[in-house]
Amino acid sequence: MANALEGLPIDACVQHWNGRRKRLLIADMDSTIIGCECIDELADFAGVKDRVSEITERAMRGELDFESALRERVAMLKGLSVDVLQRCYDERVRLNSGARTLVRTMTANGAGAFLVSGGFTFFTSRVAQAAGFQANRANTLIEAAGLLTGEVGSPILGREAKLAALREETAAAGFTPAEALAVGDGANDLAMINDAGLGVAYRAKPIVAAEADAKVDYADLTALLYFQGYTAADFVTD
């Protein structure tokens, strides 16, 4: 089927009919649920966006160790006023099309929804509320006297922590990762994408798109609902 669809603007997902509807959504935030990389946008306010964005791109492609790359990028934010975080959120962060409908529809049908990010809790807490996620995990920016110190709290939430979050959340709810849907775009999402019953690469880096069960390159995030057998009439849009 992949060969038949090659070159066409169509997203498809081949899977078993039974068990399509998942009991947990676990999603990456930056460039998945929202349309930007928050650390790159913070770097813009600090005047170092070009340098930080280059490292972000390489880390998301799997070319750099995620933890080291995150520490290097956060160090460049040293001295930035914490007030900039809210300004960045207000001016730069927007939910991707279909994000709220995806989360609201799944939770209305009894699924859990969990936002897990290699970014920062300042943003995940706000994005989770805006989209309707029930919980979120991310990294913490260290601040002192109203300024960022250039440090990030330990341990860093990266690839293995995202996988752990998937397994912990499903175990706590009494089912296995096979009943979960994981979606992301970067190399640090691969472990949870590979472990979930349905792993989706959303506008993803090549290394992720090559390994995921399905990829979404053209549609918005409601494609993940269609993959599960929902119809447009089932969507919760309020």
For residue 214, which of 4, 10, 40, 7 has the smallest C-alpha distance? 10
- What percent of the chain clears pLDDT 90, i.e. is strictly above it? 91
Q: pLDDT tens, 134-179?
A: 999 999 999 999 999 999 999 999 999 999 999 999 999 999 999 9
Domains in the chain, CATH or no CATH each: 24-234 (3.40.50.1000)
Q: pLDDT tens, 6-46?
A: 677 889 888 877 889 999 999 999 999 999 999 999 999 99
Q: Identify the pLDDT of residue 17.
A: 76
**From 28, 40, 189, 195, the catalytic residue:** 28
Say what the pTM is. Answer: 0.94
For residue 42, which of 141, 136, 115 has the smallest C-alpha distance? 141
Strand partners, 201: 184, 215
Rounded-to-integer distance, Cα 18 and Cα 41, Å: 42
Q: pLDDT tens, 96-139?
A: 999 999 999 999 999 999 999 999 999 999 999 999 999 999 99
- Is 30 a residue of the active site? yes
Q: Identify the pLDDT of residue 2.
A: 53
Rounded-to-integer distance, Cα 76 and Cα 46, Å: 8
- 3 state SS for 22-48: CCEEEECHHHHHECCCHHHHHHHHHCC
**From 11, 30, 40, 195, the catalytic residue:** 30
